[in-house]
Amino acid sequence: MSVLKIVKYGDPVLRKKAQIVTEITDDVKRLVKDMFDTMYASKGVGLAAPQVGISLQICVVDVLPDGKNRPFVLINPKIISGEDKIEQEEGCLSFPKIYEKVRRYNKINIEYTDINGGVNTAEVEGFLAKAFQHETDHLNGKVFIDYLPDWKRKLVEKEVRRRKKAKNW
Residues near Co ion, by CB under 5 A: 92
CB 45 within 8 A of CB 59: no
Complex with Co ion: residue 117 or 157, whichever CB lies closer: 157
Catalytic residue flag (residue 135):
yes
CB 73 within 8 A of CB 60: yes
Q: Minimum Å distance from CB 150 to Co ion?
A: 20
Task: State the DSSP code for 9.
Answer: T
Complex with Co ion: residue 60 or 92, whichever CB lies closer: 92
Q: Minimum Å distance from CB 95 to Co ion?
A: 7
The one catalytic residue among 87, 90, 100, 135: 135
Residue number of the CB closest to Co ion reads 92
3-class SS string, 59-126: EEECCCHHHCCCCEEEEEEEEEEEEEEEEEEECCCCCCCCCEEEEEEEEEEEEEECCCCCEEEEEEEC
Q: What are phi and psi of 151, to 5 degrees?
A: -65, -35
Q: Minimum Å distance from CB 14 to Co ion?
A: 9
Complex with Co ion: residue 58 or 92, whichever CB lies closer: 92
Active-site positions read: 135
